[in-house]
Amino acid sequence: MKLKIAVLPGDGIGPEITKQAVKVLKAVAERFDHDFQFEEAVVGAAAIDATGDPLPADTLELCAGADAVLFGAIGHPKYDNDPDAKVRPEQGLLNLRKGLGLFANIRPVKAYPKLIDHSPLRPERITGADMVIYRELTGGIYFGKKSTSEDGRSATDVCTYSVDEIERLSHLAFKAAQKRRKKVTLVDKANVLETSRLWRKTVANLSAEYPDVALDFLFVDNAAMQMILDPTQFDVILTENMFGDILSDEASVIGGSIGLLASASVGEKSAMFEPIHGSYPQATGKGIANPVASILSAAMLLDHFGLTREAAVVRDAVEESLHLDVCTQDLNKNNYYSTEKVGDFLEGYI
Amino acid sequence: MKLKIAVLPGDGIGPEITKQAVKVLKAVAERFDHDFQFEEAVVGAAAIDATGDPLPADTLELCAGADAVLFGAIGHPKYDNDPDAKVRPEQGLLNLRKGLGLFANIRPVKAYPKLIDHSPLRPERITGADMVIYRELTGGIYFGKKSTSEDGRSATDVCTYSVDEIERLSHLAFKAAQKRRKKVTLVDKANVLETSRLWRKTVANLSAEYPDVALDFLFVDNAAMQMILDPTQFDVILTENMFGDILSDEASVIGGSIGLLASASVGEKSAMFEPIHGSYPQATGKGIANPVASILSAAMLLDHFGLTREAAVVRDAVEESLHLDVCTQDLNKNNYYSTEKVGDFLEGYI
Ligand SMILES: CC(C)[C@H](C(=O)O)[C@@H](O)C(=O)O
Ligand SMILES: CC(C)[C@H](C(=O)O)[C@@H](O)C(=O)O
């Protein structure tokens, strides 16, 4: 298969980890005789520094013309505490999502038995947890109208959802559930929000098309509790943009392995693959960042194009590295390997 | 002291637990020679059943004329899964908050050493956690304009905040921090929301009036992670309505003791005291509900009126009951006491 892959390393540890994922994808291409072409572009703080724009037109064009985007991380502390900053690295990511129409953010979360001791939860709570979160990514309060009153004394954000936006994501979630444990949990705040009531109604109607999938509803505050009390109850979680942001980050730490979590953001035409973790500025350039989340994002990329055997080999390589403790220091305090060395091991396995 | 206390038992286990709190308050009045007068009114599903309105005018009037409101719980499953329901029990609570101007919701969360084994978190993570959440309660997306398009194909919720709304809550949070460990963490989503940027700017300005208090910022997704990874880092958390709803419920389970958590909702003139837990319909009438959260809410009521010695006695009584395992079955599987018996014990101690 021939694939054109846009590589957006971004900020902080983004470049170091993305480099390892590209290495692994090249090894896959060689072993399975594919033709993967890679082209790099800037985004985020790196792009602001270089061009003044967190998502330069060239970058968006490259991504729109590619089969897939491999994304590193975004964000730099110098922009975080300045509420008056006119450009922000995060805008690069938000504009990319909107520009490519990536309406579905898909985040699998799984408790790796080997890593259970790293979880902040007691082992008996987390053992067996295996869920995937379908978060709406181009609507809601993220992309609604924003305004500040003329005197600067009040500010407004608008949250809107349409039946179409809800349906296209929900179909993906129900289809995923059909291949898993056949349960979808819709997370909303239907006891307060009008948009949530539209979600509940729309998803309840649509569920009739999937009689083999059980549909469950949870208020977001309750979901935030259940995620800790009993994460094994979840199979597919379906939710809107803001709730998905909060819940998926909460979910990401319960497995004790945020350095292993991958995500896909997909739309009608484009697809982007990126680790859950952020740009981790304190670790930049030290060779201590865990490249596995980026490499497992590459595995999701392979799966997305039907290359399931290839994806399985990458995942096997990761399992093997965990088994042999070929891990960065977040997972192996005493005998840890560098970012590069973990990448080398995984490349070698393939 | 003479106090007129409106009692709103509400739904589910609300009546059973509130009864115990009233009993304890009566014991306090007797021992310390106060004059507490109690008057009951309906709210929530109970009020819909009785009058068709989740907050009848009589109930609001009683509360507005009282010195304090003791609230039980609200909500009934028959209303939860019907997105078309015209009246909902929750509206009773929301209208009460708005009607009484209860802009500040205050929720202390503490890891009781005795209950650490009930926490879903590993003991080393939760030991020492002791925080209080200041959640804005009468603004934001909860009370913004709600609408559905004419064709029913899209819905909108509006989130607005003013500097005044942010300031009045923030002052309470900073004052609380001065009496505690002198740290305020503002939780927002300033990298995406205009309202959050107003929060960040306003709180940063206002913090200059409290030079002895350290101010910290966290994005809400990160806060949802930090709450599990290291809850001991928090002292006072300050946040808007929706984020506070999610985070305070998440926080409520990490201590392993949701049956013990109390809250206060205060405004310029009124104050309401209520357990964190909900109406727990499955347990209704079985005598198994834990009355302690309601009783500790009564202790917050006493504190609110400067009756600190009285409040301390109630808290001592609770500590003693935990020490002696005089607990309902959520905390004592084998030799548990009924709701009534736990109330009797606490009443007797006072
Ligand atoms: C960086 C930020 C804008 C982004 C979001 O809120 O969507 C991030 O938290 C994420 O979840 O990918
Ligand atoms: C019942 C509901 C409307 C309410 C809220 O969301 O505020 C509850 O969850 C709470 O936190 O008191």
Q: What is the pLDDT of residues B131-185, one digit of tens each?
A: 999 999 999 999 999 999 999 999 999 999 999 999 999 999 999 999 999 999 9
Q: Tell me what the pLDDT averaged over chain B comes to.
A: 96
Using the atom order of ligand 1, give the atom closest to the CA of residue A274.
12
Confidence band (pLDDT; 50, 70, 90) for B188?
very high
Token pair for A325? 């403790």
Q: Are A253 and A126 in contact (CB under 8 A)?
A: no
pLDDT of B104 higher than 90: yes
Does position B83 have pLDDT exceeding 70, yes or no? no
Query: What is the rounded average pLDDT of the residues A22-29?
Result: 98
pLDDT of residue A85: 74
pLDDT score for A87: 87
List all residues whose CB is within 6 A of at least one atom of ligand 1. A 90, 93-94, 245; B 191-192, 221
Instruction: Indicate where chain B has its CATH 3.40.718.10 domain(s).
Output: 1-102+267-350, 111-259
pLDDT value of position A86: 80
Mutational test site, ligand 1, from A8, A69, A88, A90, max ligand atoms within 8 Å of CB: A90
A82 annotated ligand-binding residue: no
Dihedral, A191, A196, A198, A199 alpha carbons, nearest 10: -120
Chain A residue at shortest CA distance from B230: A120
Residue B324 pLDDT grade (very low, low, confident, very high; cuts 50, 70, 90) = very high
Query: Ligand 2 pocket: which of B93, B109, B136, B241 to mutate (most atoms <8 Å of CB)?
Result: B93
- Give the mean pLDDT of B203-229: 97
Which residues of chain B make contact with A247, given a CB cutoff of 8 A?
224
List all residues 6 or more positions away from A218 whose beta carbon is below 8 Å from its beta carbon. A185, A186, A187, A188, A226
Task: Write down the pLDDT at residue A256.
Answer: 85
Determine the distance separating the centroid of ligand 1 and the alpha carbon of A266, expressed in angstroms.
Answer: 15
Quote the DSSP letter at residue A121.
Answer: B
Burial A144-163 (b: 16+ CB within 10 A, else e): bebeeeeeeebbbbbbbbbb
Nearest ligand for residue A245 CA: 1
Q: Does the beta carbon of B102 sit less than 6 angstroms from any atom of ligand 2?
A: no
- Binning pLDDT at 50, 70 and 90, where does residue B45 land? very high
CATH match for B111-259 among 3.40.718.10, 3.90.550.10, 1.10.357.10, 3.40.50.720: 3.40.718.10
Q: Please tell me the distance between residue A122's alpha carbon and the centre of ligand 2 in angstroms.
A: 28
Average of pLDDT values for B264-269? 97
A199: β partners: none
Q: Of the ranges A171-175, A244-248, A277-281, which one carries the lowest mean pLDDT score? A: A277-281
Residue B260 phi/psi, 5-degree rounding, is: -115, -5
pLDDT band at A78 (very low <50, low <70, confident <90, very high): confident
Structure tokens of B148?
A: 């559905």
Residues with Cβ within 8 Å of residue A162, at least 6 apart in sequence: A139, B153, B154
> Do strands B183-188 and B146-148 pair parallel, antiparallel, or not at all (unpaired)?
unpaired
Whether A169 shows a pLDDT value over 80: the answer reads yes
Order the strands of the A183-188 sheet from edge to edge.
Answer: A35-40, A2-10, A68-73, A271-275, A262-266, A104-110, A130-136, A236-239, A183-188, A214-219
What CATH superfamily classification does B1-102+267-350 receive? Isopropylmalate Dehydrogenase (3.40.718.10)
pLDDT higher than threshold 70 for residue B239 = yes
d(CA A208, CA A212): 9
Strand boundaries in A119-225, DSSP class E = 130-136, 146-148, 154-162, 183-188, 214-219
- A57-75 per-position pLDDT tens digit: 999 999 999 999 999 999 8
User: Where exactly does CATH 3.40.718.10 map onto chain A?
Assistant: 1-102+267-350, 112-259
pLDDT at A324 (0 to 100) = 95
| Catalytic residue check, B189 | yes
Place B223 in a pLDDT band, splitting at 50, 70 and 90. Answer: very high
**pLDDT tens digits along A283-329:** 999 999 999 999 999 999 999 999 999 999 999 999 999 999 999 99
Nearest CA to ligand 1 atom 10: A245
**Chain A contacts in chain B segment 150-179 (CB below 8 A):** 152-164
Does residue B82 have a pLDDT over 90?
no
Q: What is the mean pLDDT of residues B103-122?
A: 93
Determine, for residues B246 and A80 on separate chains, whether the beta-carbon distance falls below 8 Å.
no
Q: Each residue of A99-125: pLDDT tens digit?
A: 999 999 999 999 988 889 899 999 999
Q: Residue B140 in contact with residue B165, Cβ under 8 Å?
A: no
- Which one-letter DSSP state was computed for residue A82? -
Spatial contact of B298 and B267, defined as CB atoms under 8 Å apart: no
Q: State the pLDDT at residue B79.
A: 80
Q: Is A80 annotated as a binding residue?
A: no
Q: What is the pLDDT of residue A79?
A: 80
User: Is A192 near ligand 2, meaning CB less than 6 Å away?
Assistant: yes
φ, ψ of residue B341 in degrees (nearest 5): -70, -40
Q: How confident is the model at residue A83 (pLDDT cuts 50, 70, 90)?
A: low
Residue B294 pLDDT exceeds 80: yes
**CATH class of domain segment(s) A112-259:** alpha beta
Q: In the predicted model, is pLDDT for residue A81 greater than 70?
A: no
B275 to chain A nearest CA, in Å? 15
Region B249-265 average pLDDT: 92
- Is B330 designated active site? no
| Catalytic, out of A142, A280, A337, A349 | A142
Residues B198-207 have a mean pLDDT of 97
Mutate-to-test residue for ligand 1 from B189, B191, B219, highest number of ligand atoms within 8 A of CB = B191
Q: Which residue owns the Cα nearest ligand 1 atom 3?
A: A90
Which SS3 state, helix, strand or coil, does residue A179 take?
Answer: coil
Q: Of A250, A293, A108, A278, which Cα lies nearest the Cα of B121?
A: A250
User: Which residues, numbered 194 to 223 in chain A, qualify as contacts with chain B under a Cβ-Cβ cut-off of 8 Å?
Assistant: 194-195, 197-198, 200-201, 204, 217, 220-222
> What pLDDT score does B76 carry?
87
- pLDDT at position B81 is 65
Of the candidate ranges A3-17, A81-95, B210-224, the one whose mean pLDDT is the lowest: A81-95
> What is the rounded CA–CA span in Å between residue A2 and residue A4?
7
Closest partner residue to B125 (CB to CB) among A120, A158, A220 is A120
- Rg over CA atoms, chain B: 20
What is the whole-number distance in angstroms between the Cα of residue A190 and the centre of ligand 2? Answer: 11
Distance CA A148, CA B90 (A): 30
Q: What pLDDT, on the 0 to 100 scale, is given for residue A40?
A: 98
How many residues are recorded in chain B? 350
Q: Cβ B90–A161 below 8 Å, yes or no?
A: no
Structure tokens at B225: 């992670």
- Kindly state the helix (H) or strand (E) to which residue A327 belongs, with its residue range: none
pLDDT at B338: 98
* Model pLDDT for residues A187-241, shown as the tens digit of each residue: 999 989 999 999 999 999 999 999 999 999 999 999 999 999 999 999 999 999 9
* AA identity, residue B180: R
Share of chain A above pLDDT 90, in %: 91
Who among A83, A191, A252 is closest to B197 (CB)? A83
Distance CA B73, CA B261 (A): 13
Q: Per residue, what are the HEC states of chain B?
A: CEEEEEEEEECCCHHHHHHHHHHHHHHHHHHHCCEEEEEECCCCHHHHHHHCCCCCHHHHHHHHHCCEEEEEECCCHHHHCCCCCCCCHHHHHHHHHHHHCCCEEEEEEECCHHHHHHCCECHHHHCCCEEEEEEECCCHHHCCCEEECCCCCEEEEEEEEEHHHHHHHHHHHHHHHHCCCCEEEEEECCCCCHHHHHHHHHHHHHHHHCCCCEEEEEEHHHHHHHHHHCHHHCCEEEECHHHHHHHHHHHHHHCCCHHHCEEEEECCCCEEEEECCCCCHHHCCCCCCCCHHHHHHHHHHHHHCCCHHHHHHHHHHHHHHHHCCCCCCCCCCCCCCCHHHHHHHHHHHC
